[in-house]
Amino acid sequence: MTKAIQTPVPRTPRGQRAKHDTATPKKATPKPKPTPKATPKAKADEPKTPKDKQKLSTDSAPSAKRRKKTDGDLESRVFFNSRLNAHEADTEQFQPTREDRQLYDAARSAAALEEAKVTGCAVDASTPASTPGAVSVGYRVKKIRIGSYEIDSWYISPYPDEYSRHPLLYICEFCLKYMKSSYTYTRHCQKCTLRHPPGDEIYRDGSISVFEVDGRKNKIYCQNLCLMGKMFLDTKTLYYDVEPFLFYILCEYDARGYHFAGYYSKEKRSVQGYNLSCIMILPSKQREGYGKLLIEFSYLLSKKEGVSGSPEKPLSDFGLLSYRSYWRRAVYEILLHVGERARVVTIDAVSRKTGMTVDDVISTLQTDGMLQRKGVSYAIVVDKARIERFVELAREKAPRRIDSSKLRWAPFLTKNTTVVQEDDGDISV
C-alpha cells in the first residue's frame, strides 16, 4: 500500500505574500457586505476639523468681557426717543402672574355688575363672576346715533354681543357701519369715502333719490341695513341671508352727500308675486310722505315689469295703515278718472291701471262698502261725491308723488315677462 506523504508548507509572516504556493487553498465563500447606513449630509455651518470646532466653540460662547460690553450697548441704546430706558423697554418682566389674573377677574366682574345696572340686565348668579360670560345675554341697544339724529329703538336687533352690550350705538349714515364709541364714530366719519349707497341710482326728483342695491354684490351693506331695520320692525326675521333680495334705498341729497331716509326690499324671484318684502322709514323721517312714496315706487316697478304686485304678508301695524291709505287713494283716482269716460268699470281694469292685485282691489272696495252683491254677481257702486271729496282732501295735503318719466330702470329678470299695453280709451267689458 502506498501512502501519500504531505510536504509541510512554510508559514508566511503577516503582511507578506507567499511566493510559492504548493497547494491551492479553497476559495472562501464571500460574506454579504452589510448595507452602508446613509450618512446625513454635512451642513454648511457644521465644522469639519477639530480646529474649526474649537474656533466655533470660542465664537458661540461669549466671554464675561463680551457680555458686559453687550449689556453696556443695550443700556446705551435709545428706546422711543429716550422716553424709556433699557429696563423699562424689556417686556419679559411684564408677564402676568396669578395675582394679576385674580385682580383682572375681580375688575371684570365689577365692571359687568356696573354695566348691568346701567343697561337694566340681570346677572346670572349661578355662574362664577370670574368666569367669562357671567353676564346674561339679555342686552339691548336702546338708542342709535345716525347722522345728526339720536333715535330710540323700538325692538331688539340681533347685533353681535360686544355691540349689544352698549345702550347707544353709532351708525354711519352713508355706509351703515355700526360702532361702539363716539371717538371711533368721529374717526370713521373723517375717513369714510362713501357718500351714497353702493348701487345704481335709478330715480331722482329734486333732492330725492332712489338707489337699487343688490344683496349679492353688497352683502355687508345690506346686512347692516337689515340689522338697523329690525330695530323698528317687529315682524322682520331676515338679517344675514340677503343675497336673494334687492334693496331700494331712499335718500335725501345735499352738499354733503345722499343721506339715508328709508328703504324697502323685494325678492329677485318671488313665487307668490310679491313686489315688496319689508319697508322701513327712519322715525326721524316719518310723517313726511316717504312711506307712501316708496309704496308707489314699488307699484311703478311692477307696472314696468308688466305684472301686478302685492306686499308680503303679514304687514306691520304702520305698514298696514300706509298700504290701506295708498290703496284707497289709488283706486279712487282710477274710478274718478275712468268714470268720466266709461259707465262700466271692471276690477281687472283697475288692477291693470294701478298695478295692484285683484285681491287687494277687492279688499279696498269691500272696506269702503263700494262692492255690493246683486243676485249672483257683484257690482261696484261708485259714490262720485264721496270720491271727489276724498281726492280733493288728499291733494290739499300736497303729498310726495312719483314721476314715472324720471325713472331710469330695467327689470332684473326679463325672461318670461310680458309687457301689458294700457288702453286709455273705454275699459269696460
- Residues assigned a catalytic role: 312
Q: Which of 329, 352, 326, 358 is nearest to 424 (CA)?
A: 352
C-alpha cell at 348: 281687472
Task: Report the length, in residues, of the chain.
Answer: 429
Residues in Cβ contact with 429 at an 8 Å cutoff, skipping those fewer than 6 apart: 344, 346, 348, 349
Q: What is the DSSP string of 209-274?
A: EEEEEETTTSHHHHHHHHHHHHTS-SS---SS--TTEEEEEEEEEETTEEEEEEEEEEESS-TT-E
Q: How far apart are the first and last CA of the chain?
A: 151
Q: Which residues pair with 380 in a beta bridge?
A: 371
Residues in Cβ contact with 369 at an 8 Å cutoff, skipping those fewer than 6 apart: none
Residues 89/76, Cβ–Cβ less than 8 Å: no
- Please list, residue by residue across 192-230, b when 16 or more beta carbons sit within 10 angstroms of its beta carbon and e when fewer do: eeeebbbbebbbbeeebbbbbbbbeebeebbbbbbbbbb
Report strand pairing: 200-205 vs 208-214.
antiparallel
